[in-house]
Amino acid sequence: MGSDPGSDGKYGNDGRPGEEKHDDAPPHASHSSHSSHASRQPSLAHPIIPPRGDPTTLKSFQKAEVIYDLTFRFAHAFLKRGDRTIDQMIQAARSGKKNLLEGSRLGRTSKELEIKLTNVAYGSLAELRDDYRDFLCARDLPVWDKNAKEALYVRELGKRQPQTFELYRGFLETRPPGVLANIAICLICQAMYLIDRQLDRLERDFLEQGGLRETMMHMRLAHRTRRDATGQRRSASR
């Protein structure tokens, strides 16, 4: 894995990705990697409902899934049995990934719900980030600076595709809880950055394209116009 973070010295960080360039547009959005004409056309089975890509390919979802896997193991390993924070941290991590997944799926028929659930995922991860910071502060452990070499290492590791827990498993098995909490904070901040960009894209798409109700209205009007035109042609030919 290269030089592991937390191997020497004291560093402090909020884990923000800084100038790191991530593009996590929803898999259905008009985007350079999803810009083929066919991919934007309604399916033949459901002409009103737009097609969707696989939400598990979203960088934000992959990151959130890694955060859940890390948090589940961290909470059980380093928090005392019976501590309510265990359930709180695990549920916040679960909410992060599940709301991203459900929001993307429900976005086929409700952009409003997709935006709402994506924002819930953002809030859940923000709560989890605070729990990790509380863990460090309560034990007088340092919070890495965003430009610390360990934070920069995790940032680079966070660019690898696809993001899986296996990229980070070695740290869980070899590093102390203070280092692991900082790694989690770095990953959470990366995920929040991606989700923030995702929300920007969803809002732009809604303003430009509208929602399902508007699509249905336009298609209904177009259908009525075609029907009326066909009827007029038939009457004129008699």
Mean pLDDT by 10 residues, the chain (238 residues): 54 42 48 38 49 78 97 97 95 97 84 92 98 98 96 96 96 96 98 95 76 56 67 67
The pLDDT of residue 89: 98
In a domain, 236, yes or no: no
Neighbours of 4 (CB within 10 A): 16
In a domain, 215, yes or no: no
Cβ proximity of 114 and 107 under 8 Å:
yes
Which positions ≥6 away from 180 have C-beta within 8 Å? 70, 74, 78, 171, 172
In a domain, 125, yes or no: yes
In a domain, 221, yes or no: no
Report pLDDT digits (tens) over 158-207: 999 999 999 999 999 999 999 999 999 999 999 999 999 999 998 887 67
The pLDDT of residue 47: 54
In a domain, 150, yes or no: yes
Q: Say if pTM beats, i.e. exceeds, 0.75.
A: no
3-state secondary structure of 163: coil
The pLDDT of residue 26: 53
Which domain covers residue 98, as residue numbers? 51-210
The pLDDT of residue 16: 44
The pLDDT of residue 17: 42
The pLDDT of residue 5: 72
Question: At which residue do the structure tokens 């595709």 appear?
Answer: 161
In a domain, 30, yes or no: no
Annotate 61-124 with DSSP letters as a single string. Answer: HHHHHHHHHHHHHHHHHHS-TT-HHHHHHHHHHHHHHHHHHHHHHHTTT-HHHHHHHHHHHHHH
The pLDDT of residue 30: 39
The pLDDT of residue 93: 98
In a domain, 160, yes or no: yes
If phi > 0 it is left, if psi is from -120 to 50 it is alpha, else beta; for residue 9 that is left
Say how many domains are in the chain: 1
Distances (CA, A) of 72 to 30, 76, 79, 83, 198: 35, 6, 11, 14, 25
In a domain, 34, yes or no: no
